[in-house]
Amino acid sequence: YYRILTYLYFPVQYAGFFLGAYLISTGDLSGWAQLGLALTVGTVGGVGINNAHELGHKKVKAERRLAKLVLAQTGYG
């Protein structure tokens, strides 16, 4: 169960990142909404760092590669 959740976090994290970038680029958000969106995307990325940390401990090479992909979105690795 928990292993599946660590795998599923990757597409959710990137979907949120790209959706946030799209919403900011359209220019339809107020300053407060932009700030809230930036904090939300940053928090999701921060949780992704923890997720990647756990994936990095695994012996399976694919899981360690997934950890690097999760870290790439935050520029942390």
The residue segments making up the domain with residue 29 are 2-74
The domain tally of the chain equals: 1
Q: Give residue for tokens 């680029």.
A: 25
Instruction: Check pLDDT > 80 for residue 41.
Output: yes
CA distances for 48 relative to 27, 31, 43, angstroms: 27, 26, 8
Instruction: Check pLDDT > 80 for residue 77.
Output: no
> Are 43 and 74 within 8 A, CB to CB?
no
Which pLDDT score is estimated for 24?
A: 92
Q: How far apart are CA 77 and CA 69, in angstroms?
A: 9
State the pTM of this model: 0.81
Q: Which band of pLDDT confidence, cut at 50, 70 and 90, is reported for residue 3?
A: confident
